[in-house]
Chain A
Amino acid sequence: MAAADELAFHEFEEATNLLAETPDAATTSRTDQLTPQGHVAVAVGLGAEDEVEENDKTSLLQEEKQQPGFWTFDYYQSFFDVDTSQVLDRIKGSLLPRPGHNFVRHHLRNRPDLYGPFWICATLAFVLAITGNLTLVLAQRKDPSIHYSPQFHKVTVAGITIYCYAWLVPLALWGFLRWRKGVRERMGPYTFLETVCVYGYSLFVFIPTVVLWLIPVPWLQWLFGALALALSASGLVFTLWPVVREDTRLVAAVLLSAVVLLHALLAVGCKFYFFQPLPLEHIAPPPQAISLSPNTLLASTSPRTMVT
């Protein structure tokens, strides 16, 4: 019976597919479901003309609220239009990636925010510098000859690294996906802000990992690092897979492996730079130490100081 078919519960996948095809359709939150404003209908059994009507209503509604120019304050305020519960939900979604779930469609619901990426990057930068300094404190406990210093320059380095990664890599990815847009029929590329959002929230899992790297057991540190990298990279891959799977196999494989590789490079680089493994004579010292060691040899007569 057609009526019973319309009333039957349809999978949520279809709604997300519809949403993928019309990415500009206004999505409404759960409280607004009673109002018949251009929301994407879940009951796909509606006739074709009803869908056209919905799309017309949607486009009309969108034209009504004018986009403020990018020089006004309201333009940027639209990117911070999130509640505490929404931010927490997005963080949870990035911590537990699932194969069918697309982060952009299911959690962002096409309403990206800039609060999450900005403050997660800030927190990660400071946590990196602070815990890196704390490992120095713990090392000094064991070996009193190590000279402790606050190493404030690491905050600058951490900040620049994290922010460049979280904003320039999504820019490159977005540019590349738009360039390949012609090959895809079904699904449009993500907007720049959605890509930034995905990357920003995917960095959240590194915050507890970095804190756990305080434990001075090397294999445990590598285990935590691998776990965090797996969670984070799989979140990215699951989000990018629907966009990329219509492309040629080669491009898809290269893109996904490049994304995972860059992520791994970030994790490993942070581990090596901020958490110097001890004791120092077993590992080759980093380049800064080599360039500065003549000075320290001349300046200090006391036993070795730890130069980073």
Chain B
Amino acid sequence: MAEAAESPGDPATASPKPLFAGLSDISISQDIPVEGEITIPMRSRIREFDSSTLNESVHNTIMRDLKAVGKKFMHVLYPRKSNTLLRDWDLWGPLILCVTLALMLQQGSADNEKDGGPQFAEVFVIIWFGAVTITLNSKLLGGNISFFQSLCVLGYCILPLTVAMLVCRLVLLADSGPINFMVRLFVVIVMFAWSVIASTAFLADSQPPNRKALAVYPVFLFYFVISWMILTFTPK
């Protein structure tokens, strides 16, 4: 550790010392070698990688993207304070989840079309425009998260609700009754709480401290509406 030589800390000496007078007395002790590399040898190899992704097989490309999406799914299911979702954002995961959810939620042609559940386009529009609105809201309130990072987080945190939709569809294969409804209600509530907690864990830090509740409330409303759509799904 660099140690300063005995610098007089004596307040009695009132003579004005020049600035940084003690610096010249700092000496590095002899038994610690100072060494290291200044060049960054990896940089040239990264450039080689970039150009070689053109030549790789399609299988490699798809698997790389799928692995990235899968890694982010794991981060959502076990929300920790990590930056992976924010740093390497992508919108593949939200697209896959949104399309899956919208396909499962859409009603076929009902006998009375106006009366049925949401159509595919309605679910799609709610999810994407809802996410865009929440992102705009959080940016207008002064948050320092980028637009696509926020879309990425909100889209990935739909994963628990998609799982809830799958479970509900399976449960609905059994005969309906109050127990059926209770099971579905319980699953949807748990997954809704999971979604809100996961997205808040990622998003809340980017807001100024006295506006956190203002930014989190629309997220709550968004997932509440999606949960409501899942809960009221009745198969034909």
| Chain A positions near chain B (C-beta within 8 angstroms) | 73, 76-77, 79-85, 87, 115, 119, 122-123, 126, 130, 133, 148-153, 156, 288, 292, 295-296, 299-300, 305, 307-308
Provide the bound-state CA to CA distance between A80 and B111, in Å.
45
On chain A, the residues within 8 Å of B233 by CB distance are: 150
Interface size on B, residues (CB 8 A): 31
On chain A, the residues within 8 Å of B169 by CB distance are: none
| B112 near A295: Cβ-Cβ < 8 Å | yes
B124-148 near A? 1/0 per residue, CB < 8 Å: 0000000000000101111000000
CB distance from A235 to the nearest CB of B (A): 22
On chain B, the residues within 8 Å of A84 by CB distance are: 210-214
| A148 near B228: Cβ-Cβ < 8 Å | no
Identify which of B117, B137, B210, B217 contacts A85 (C-beta below 8 A): B210
Provide the bound-state CA to CA distance between A153 and B232, in Å.
14
Provide the bound-state CA to CA distance between A292 and B110, in Å.
14
Provide the bound-state CA to CA distance between A22 and B210, in Å.
30
A-B residue pairs in contact (CB < 8 Å), sample of 10: A80-B137, A83-B211, A84-B211, A87-B214, A115-B137, A119-B217, A122-B221, A292-B112, A292-B114, A308-B115
On chain B, the residues within 8 Å of A130 by CB distance are: 228
Residue in B closest to A77 when the chains form the complex, CB atoms: B140
A-B contact count (CB 8 A): 75
On chain A, the residues within 8 Å of B213 by CB distance are: 84
Any A CB within 8 A of the CB of B225: yes
Given A115-B141, A149-B234, the answer on whether A126 and B225 have CB atoms closer than 8 Å is yes
Provide the bound-state CA to CA distance between A249 and B11, in Å.
80
Identify which of A77, A82, A152, A156 contacts B214 (C-beta below 8 A): A82
Any A CB within 8 A of the CB of B118: yes
Residue in A closest to B178 when the chains form the complex, CB atoms: A141
Any A CB within 8 A of the CB of B25: no
Provide the bound-state CA to CA distance between A307 and B141, in Å.
43
Identify which of A82, A156, A299 contacts B111 (C-beta below 8 A): A299
On chain A, the residues within 8 Å of B214 by CB distance are: 82-84, 87, 115
| A149 near B110: Cβ-Cβ < 8 Å | yes
| A300 near B141: Cβ-Cβ < 8 Å | no
Beyond A76-B140, A84-B214, A156-B122, 16 extra complex contacts between A and B, CB < 8 Å: A77-B140, A80-B137, A82-B214, A115-B137, A115-B140, A115-B141, A115-B214, A119-B217, A119-B221, A149-B110, A150-B232, A150-B234, A152-B116, A152-B119, A299-B111, A300-B111
CB distance from B133 to the nearest CB of A (A): 8
Given A84-B210, A119-B217, A295-B112, the answer on whether A152 and B118 have CB atoms closer than 8 Å is yes
On chain A, the residues within 8 Å of B218 by CB distance are: 119, 122
Main secondary structure of the interface of B (DSSP, over half): helix
Residue in B closest to A300 when the chains form the complex, CB atoms: B111
| A152 near B117: Cβ-Cβ < 8 Å | yes
B163-191 near A? 1/0 per residue, CB < 8 Å: 00000000000000000000000000000
CB distance from A109 to the nearest CB of B (A): 17
| A307 near B211: Cβ-Cβ < 8 Å | no
On chain A, the residues within 8 Å of B229 by CB distance are: 150, 152
Identify which of A122, A156, A307 contacts B115 (C-beta below 8 A): A307
Within 8 A of A (CB), among B74-119: 107, 110-112, 114-119
Given A83-B210, A130-B228, A150-B234, the answer on whether A77 and B116 have CB atoms closer than 8 Å is no
**Which of A83, A85, A130, A295 has the most CB atoms of chain B within a 10 A radius of its CB?**
A83
**Which of B212, B229, B232, B233 has the most CB atoms of chain A within a 10 A radius of its CB?**
B232
Provide the bound-state CA to CA distance between A85 and B110, in Å.
47
On chain B, the residues within 8 Å of A81 by CB distance are: 142
Provide the bound-state CA to CA distance between A71 and B142, in Å.
18
CB distance from A231 to the nearest CB of B (A): 22
On chain B, the residues within 8 Å of A152 by CB distance are: 116-119, 122, 229
Residue in B closest to A79 when the chains form the complex, CB atoms: B140
| B140 near A123: Cβ-Cβ < 8 Å | no
Provide the bound-state CA to CA distance between A150 and B107, in Å.
10
Provide the bound-state CA to CA distance between A130 and B112, in Å.
19
